[in-house]
Structure 1
């Protein structure tokens, strides 16, 4: 997850009373789902209203049910310690004999509530409280095991799965050794093998860069890894690609190194200046990063030559679909240094054509209870649509988005961590689906809770 400005759009609307009544998307949502077979059958507008959960955990539509797989503070089944707090990015990977491996990030900072327990052979920096835990589920969805996947990392926000069945977990920090008590530099990507975490260990993939990582997506044809940077202050983050030395991939292959490059859109120093959907740029350039380890200077401050480099505020979610990579800018605010204002963008980069296209713009005329404020984690649903975790203020939902732009609520967090007079709800994160598409897994960030949701999913 991420840091917000002092005034969100919801807070502003609450004071002015200017509540919208309809969703406002601009752009071609069909393009988001190109290449997915289910897109041809998609078009429903939801599963009905959300029903209050008598247990006060998760509100769902009629016909849906949930199971709590894990909660922060409980004991890990491995006996390694407690389930850590701050549940964040997550993926579901197929295992043997119909099993499912869930790999879950914990975005703990140095002062996190419940850190990931340190385990011999799986700990990078004993002072780090972040990391991943791995759950293995049987074909019926029962938890078989829950253990540490990696420990001693910091601010593990998002990441992404690899085509070879591992998870790349990303540190969203640039803290160096000696900062906040850390004994090693942070800001790296680590590979986690959920079937046997000791096979992957706790080895930073240093060639992939040291910066405030958010998410990744792998081109399954070429092995190129795309990376987003969620930098909190200007100059804002960059969009990267990593050209691995061993492009065929495989567990551990990224340790062999490669080239890290940053995207340059000719004539566009800041993506927030582009406001009209469908705008495309051909001839996208990729520039070698001068110092991927950022030994002296953070990458986004480094000298990329007289033509500069392209920045964007709040680069977060990233996924591969069809023949392209899609990435999310959660918002941009000119008051914070961006060239323009928006409440969320989705960009598409087609590497075959070297073309970048602005596909979707969220808001600003969006109902404040709908996902027009800071879209964050994002995944493709079995129906071919999108599932979006909104990273904003107020009530917290998982929303579905059809290719026609219809938005419907899938889940609402019912765990009030505020007071009856001033309620507050933790955001959702890590939405993902089981390999067979029958179960949606999603995290509540605070209190850390992992849900499995089943029901009449279409597609």
Structure 2
């Protein structure tokens, strides 16, 4: 892209940006109580931020809640780096508009600021990742910030439970002894947002040891769906976990259960499917031979002569209506995938055992416009779907309306590249406060957490 074109986009804020995608967008809003706004899609062009942090539409404003390296308000150490997945819960002090955020830190071994080790909350003292919790009032003031779990590695995304805890996922599968670690990694951990000592730092081992990304829970029966973001071929799998104590409240997932992986008959690689609306009935769920992956990573294990179904970059996951939705952020044949795309959104209907390809992004995508490589997803109060972009070029939080319009919501202006090769950190962890008046989102690098207010219901 020419410098002139890039400058025009910067001035315009990517207003009216169009993206090459196909599919039944309304499918993505199944189960959402939000009404579709009657007027135009989106909130207008982005206004350049004089402070050089975050471009937003007119009428919106942001507050920086937390930045990596600043002191934690608990005095436990500096705010950790690598801000990633996040969820919002009702505030610990129950004041009107109060919110408690639980924020992942995807630290591994070479990141600047680790999650401080805290007694009773640390799994493996060698590992640098974990979660922090922030108590925020309705005006964007932070009243508390503390470690929620430590000693985990590469905490990417996760998901909330019906009993209002956070499941944080390790996107790694290191074993004890590797890179100096004292324990195996690649697990899910449960975090109580208000009192993390109640949940401690115990892995939910029955839910599998692999490169976890995100989870979503069927609120009707407690089945947990899990995505795997494996970095190289063979790529990750889509899992479901049947807990022995479904919907049993905090700690019930520790009682164990059965882990299964999805097999789509005749489809060894989801990336080869390019036609939106394509349906696959008779989806099978195959028991995982060794959920702890003691000898072999799960995606390499023997699932029988029919094999198993893989997909590149399985990322966000959420429950809507009667179905679970999950995202494949991209697929590249040059990296070993069977097909190419800039993002897929899939829907699985458990009752019908049917998998449907709802949306395909690209491959004709302008990397400087919003719409490339969807990652974290959140339903917005005004009827939109908010998506964190994780790819090359400019980085946006972008909206996707019921009418199929992609529109910019925020653009990261924090430069982490060079004048010759500019770069911007990805967005992650988009979530809304319980009263739906504030959107919270992270910038991964430099680690920054924003609170964004404005006419969300317009």
Same fold flag (TM > 0.5): yes
Pairing 1:25–2:21 present: yes
Tell me, yes or no, if the aligned pair for 1:397 and 1:428 is still in contact at 8 Å.
yes
**Aligned partner of residue 38 in structure 1, secondary structure:** coil
Displacement, 1:39?
4.1
Tell me, yes or no, if the aligned pair for 1:42 and 1:402 is still in contact at 8 Å.
no
Pairing 1:46–2:42 present: yes
Mapped to 1, the partners of 2:393 and 2:294 lie a distance apart of 40
Tell me, yes or no, if the aligned pair for 1:155 and 1:173 is still in contact at 8 Å.
yes
Pairing 1:455–2:448 present: no
Mapped to 2, the partners of 1:256 and 1:103 lie a distance apart of 24
Displacement, 1:238?
0.3
**Aligned partner of residue 221 in structure 1, secondary structure:** coil
More deviation in 393-402 or 443-452? 393-402
Tell me, yes or no, if the aligned pair for 1:87 and 1:444 is still in contact at 8 Å.
yes
Mapped to 2, the partners of 1:264 and 1:336 lie a distance apart of 22
Tell me, yes or no, if the aligned pair for 1:60 and 1:412 is still in contact at 8 Å.
yes
Instruction: List runs of 5+ in structure 2 lacking aligned partners.
Output: 7-15
More deviation in 84-93 or 333-342? 333-342
**Aligned partner of residue 299 in structure 2, secondary structure:** helix
More deviation in 37-46 or 218-227? 37-46
- Counterpart in 1 of 2:227? 228
More deviation in 190-199 or 389-398? 389-398
- Counterpart in 1 of 2:290? 291
- Counterpart in 2 of 1:196? 195
Tell me, yes or no, if the aligned pair for 2:162 and 2:247 is still in contact at 8 Å.
no
Mapped to 1, the partners of 2:456 and 2:371 lie a distance apart of 24
Compute the RMSD of aligned alpha carbons: 2.0
Q: Structure 1 residues 229, 406: CA separation in 2 closer, same or farther (over 3 Å shift)?
A: same
Per-residue CA distance 1:371-425 (angstroms, 9 max, x = gap): 4421111111112221111111122111011011111111111111223343221
Pairing 1:37–2:56 present: no
More deviation in 267-276 or 113-122? 267-276
Displacement, 1:54?
1.4
* Superposition pairs of residues 93-172 of structure 1, within 5 angstroms: 93-95=89-91, 96-98=94-96, 99-172=98-171
Mapped to 2, the partners of 1:165 and 1:326 lie a distance apart of 20
Tell me, yes or no, if the aligned pair for 1:43 and 1:403 is still in contact at 8 Å.
no
Tell me, yes or no, if the aligned pair for 1:33 and 1:39 is still in contact at 8 Å.
no
Mapped to 2, the partners of 1:303 and 1:33 lie a distance apart of 37
Q: Structure 1 residues 22, 202: CA separation in 2 closer, same or farther (over 3 Å shift)?
A: same
Tell me, yes or no, if the aligned pair for 1:43 and 1:402 is still in contact at 8 Å.
no
* Superposition pairs of residues 247-258 of structure 1, within 5 angstroms: 247-258=246-257
Mapped to 2, the partners of 1:290 and 1:39 lie a distance apart of 44
Q: Structure 1 residues 29, 21: CA separation in 2 closer, same or farther (over 3 Å shift)?
A: closer
Per-residue CA distance 1:320-341 (angstroms, 9 max, x = gap): 1111110000111112111111
TM-score with structure 2 length normalisation? Answer: 0.94
More deviation in 95-104 or 57-66? 95-104
Tell me, yes or no, if the aligned pair for 1:26 and 1:362 is still in contact at 8 Å.
yes
Q: How many pairs align?
A: 446
Q: Structure 1 residues 40, 453: CA separation in 2 closer, same or farther (over 3 Å shift)?
A: closer
TM-score with structure 1 length normalisation? Answer: 0.94
- Counterpart in 2 of 1:79? 75
- Counterpart in 2 of 1:353? 352
Mapped to 1, the partners of 2:402 and 2:384 lie a distance apart of 6
Q: Which runs of 4+ in 1 moved over 6 A?
A: none
Instruction: List runs of 5+ in structure 1 lacking aligned partners.
Output: 1-8, 15-19
Per-residue CA distance 1:136-167 (angstroms, 9 max, x = gap): 12243321110000000000000011111110
**Aligned partner of residue 207 in structure 1, secondary structure:** helix
Displacement, 1:369?
2.5
Displacement, 1:42?
5.9
Pairing 1:329–2:355 present: no
Mapped to 2, the partners of 1:103 and 1:448 lie a distance apart of 14
Tell me, yes or no, if the aligned pair for 2:367 and 2:394 is still in contact at 8 Å.
no
More deviation in 63-72 or 41-50? 41-50
Per-residue CA distance 1:65-112 (angstroms, 9 max, x = gap): 110100000010011111000000001011333321100000001111
- Counterpart in 2 of 1:90? 86
Mapped to 2, the partners of 1:138 and 1:422 lie a distance apart of 39
Displacement, 1:300?
0.2
Tell me, yes or no, if the aligned pair for 1:349 and 1:357 is still in contact at 8 Å.
yes
